[in-house]
Amino acid sequence: MNAENPIPDAKKILKLISFTFGAILLMGFAGCSFKYGNFKMDQEVLHAFENNTVNSEYKYYANYQHNETYAIIGIESKYKLESKMWHEIEPDTEDFEKFVSRIWADYGRYKYGANIYDPNGNKVGVWYSAIFGKAVKFLDDNQIEFVIDRPYMWGPEAGSGGDFHHSG
């Protein structure tokens, strides 16, 4: 910039903006070392859970409290699931059948089965629940994380903001 022309060169400004935007994007992506997978509903998965004929090569985990099961997942054994919310269960057992029979399905929700896919579209497991709000994250070192919605805590007034409903 010189004294005769106080406006900076437009090309320099454009380069600076492009560089800054690129640097921000790069920093944002560098901080994310995980990717999300997805789910695809499948009637065969539903029937496999309900008939206790699930794939015995998967490791199974249940998310439950007291006598209600909120979700059951089966994942390839190469994945590690470390969570206080998910507890490993053995397929083809009486306990497994109890977890399946106690799936929470109140407030107009229905049970369904789904296949679980990694970010590359490879099938890595199965899902059984009546909860539709869910996510699966694939972290470093084959760590996997499942996050589920908690509509069972909303009570019958689920559309009124999701407050916890106390009965009695």
Is the entire prediction scored with pTM above 0.85? Answer: no
What is the count of structural domains for the chain?
A: 1
* Confidence at residue 74, expressed as pLDDT on a 0 to 100 scale: 97
Q: Is 74 a member of any domain?
A: yes
* pLDDT at position 124 over 90: yes
Q: Is the pLDDT of residue 30 over 70?
A: no
And the tokens for 146?
């499942």
Structural domain of residue 130, as residue ranges? 35-153
Does 48 map to a domain?
Answer: yes
Write down the pLDDT at residue 116. 97
pLDDT of residue 17: 58
pLDDT of residue 7: 58
Sorted by sequence, the CB contacts under 8 Å of residue 76 that are 6+ apart come out as 57, 58, 59, 124, 125
- Residue 106 placed within a domain: yes
Average pLDDT, the chain: 79
Domain annotation covers residue 111: yes
pLDDT tens sequence across 127-147 = 999 988 899 999 999 999 998
Q: Considering the domain boundaries, does residue 23 fall inside one? A: no
Buried b or exposed e, range 111-146, using 16+ CB within 10 angstroms: ebbbbbbbeeeeebbbbbbbbeebebebeeeeebbb
Of 124 and 150, more confident = 124
The fraction of the chain above a pLDDT of 90, given in percent, is 56
Over 90: is that where the pLDDT of 9 sits?
no
Q: What is the mean pLDDT of residues 86-114?
A: 91
